[in-house]
Chains A and B, each alone.
Chain A
Amino acid sequence: AQSVTQPDIHITVSEGASLELRCNYSYGATPYLFWYVQSPGQGLQLLLKYFSGDTLVQGIKGFEAEFKRSQSSFNLRKPSVHWSDAAEYFCVYMDSNYQLIWGAGTKLIIKP
């Protein structure tokens, strides 16, 4: 079965430091991949998406993600985090039936 793995349940980063959130997927064809962010008690907001083409994708709020087929990864990065980035981040894969398969999420904690 197709799956999305986010190996880090929590990550703590100092404000101003760089960030990388890991995501690995298992699939059989060219993936459609997304990163969503959820602030506490809120709905989800799309950060960025990858369908094809350039493997480095730019998103909102200064985030980017790199698709690496050889590693089956789609890691999310930000060069300098802000306290407002504290949230839960979800990596999502869209299967061939256009259904979304969700990772379990990574909670980002920002140290002042």
Chain B
Amino acid sequence: DGGITQSPKYLFRKEGQNVTLSCEQNLNHDAMYWYRQDPGQGLRLIYYSQIVNDFQKGDIAEGYSVSREKKESFPLTVTSAQKNPTAFYLCASSPGWGALTNYGYTFGSGTRLTVV
């Protein structure tokens, strides 16, 4: 079955460390996204990628970095510069950009990151 796989499900990080969250999709989608979810808030866009080797900052990109070297993969690195990284992180994809996003996004099951 096609879908999005995020790993790990739970991740613990010490302060000052960088960590990388994995996101892989086998839906042949061109566009991929990273969202951050905090309690009592809607999802906030961190980064998105419309196509391989291209990505754009979202609303809260500071302290995060991404790469898109392959269509299937869009890893997110939470750097030590991110002041409050404890959150639930969701990866998503859509068939393409523009009107193709109207078909809706497919979401992974998320990674819960905790700073200890």
Interface residues of A (CB under 8 A from B): 4, 9, 32, 34, 36, 41-46, 49, 51, 90, 92, 94, 98-105
Contact = CB atoms under 8 A, between A and B. Distances in A.
B2 interface: no
Interface of B: 4, 6, 40-45, 58, 90, 92, 97-99, 101-102, 104-105, 107-110, 112
B109 A32 contact: no
A79 to B, nearest CB: 24
A9 B39 CA distance: 11
Contacts of A94: 101-102
Interface of A (DSSP majority class): strand
A9 B40 CA distance: 8
Given A4-B42, A90-B42, A90-B43, A42 B109 contact: yes
Contact of A46 (B6, B40, B105): B105
Nearest to B38: A104
Contacts of B45: 99-100
A103 B37 CA distance: 12
